Amino acid sequence: MIEISNLSKSYGRHKAVDQISFEVTRGEIVGFLGPNGAGKSTTLKMLTGFLPPTSGAARIAGKDIFRESLEVRKRIGYMPENVPLYTDMRVKEYLRFRGSLKGLSRSRLRKRLSEVMETCGLTHVRRKMIKTLSKGYRQRVGLADALIHEPDLLILDEPTNGLDPNQIRAIRSLIKNLGEKHTILISTHILSEVEMTCNKVVIIDEGKIKAADTPENLVSSMRRAGRVTVELKAPRSEVEGIMLEFEEITRVVGESLQGDWNRFTVFAAPKTDTRLKIANLATEKKWPLRSLSRRIGTLEEVFIELTRKD
């Protein structure tokens, strides 16, 4: 659905986007992440035809974003971070106006109005003035606008920005349902939403792609993913010395607890699980063991690990 190859955008000597390449296949929900100034917005503006690239190429649904810009735009539904709505119009009136601008015939527009209002939960507010709606419902109107012409690709820029937890949950559920029929690219700072919604993540920083994979693979490959915590009644120096003999263990940090108990934080290589070895060691040495757990990483930690400057 999206094929990006060595895409760049420069403003004078500053490269906002520096030869990025990645692909999004049909039917995927992809989180497009990066810190402020990383190049996210510039990339989205190039994909939607708002900005021409300096170099490189990108295709959407097989169409070149530069040479076939109008054809590309027909296949994209775009919802910006701050949805520019005509607040003095009613919901149905606004969506009819937007559909006509996008070239829908009267019969098709009539059908699509009913469909998108039902999909986005707007049927019961269709006659209300947009200025009377809550932020959550305004986001729904913006989403319905992006969907009205049945695009192949939905590009959503911060779709849950400014919403309360209940509204975020509703929009998240709506996006998941839309993913059954559309390819979706989401730019957001709410990483927990990406973990619950997206089946692929692309992380950009300083204009370059730092990672592109599933959330699960990114979390399992991070440096701290193999960390295990164990509480043993055993001498610290002996435990640390024996554990460091294991090939996959890189560091052991001990901490004294009450009585003769010690807590050990065991650092191991990514994609390894040392819990069974540690449990077997405790059994062999007859060390009392009262807890053993593996550190489960988060996408937020992956993001920080890939983009932090220290």
Which tens digit of pLDDT belongs to each residue from 17-46?
A: 999 999 998 889 999 998 888 888 889 889
Confidence (pTM): 0.78
- Say how far apart CA 262 and CA 232 lie, in whole Å: 5
**CATH code at 1-75+151-166+174-220:** 3.40.50.300
pLDDT tens digits for 113-149?
999 999 888 999 999 999 999 988 998 999 999 999 9
CB contact burial 110-130 (16+ within 10 A = b; e otherwise): eebbeebbebbbbeebeeeeb
* 139 bridge partner residues: none
Q: How many residues are listed for the chain in this entry?
A: 310
What is the C-alpha R_g of the chain?
25
With a CB cutoff of 8 Å and minimum separation 6, the contacts of 245 are none
pLDDT tens digits for 211-236?
888 888 887 776 555 688 999 999 99
Place of tokens 């294991």: 246
Task: Give the strand order in the sheet containing 183-187.
Answer: 76-79, 153-157, 183-187, 29-33, 200-205, 208-213
Pair of tokens at residue 92: 């149905």
Place of tokens 């204009």: 207
Q: Please tell me the class of the 226-294 domain.
A: alpha beta
pLDDT for residue 225: 57
Model confidence at 174, pLDDT cuts 50, 70, 90, reads confident
| DSSP character at residue 308 | -
Give the closest residue to 264 by CA, choosing from 281, 272, 222, 247: 281
Q: Helix count (H) and strand count (E) of the chain?
A: 11, 14
Residue ranges of the domains in the chain?
1-75+151-166+174-220, 86-149, 226-294
Give the closest residue to 168 by CA, choosing from 153, 148, 145, 188: 188
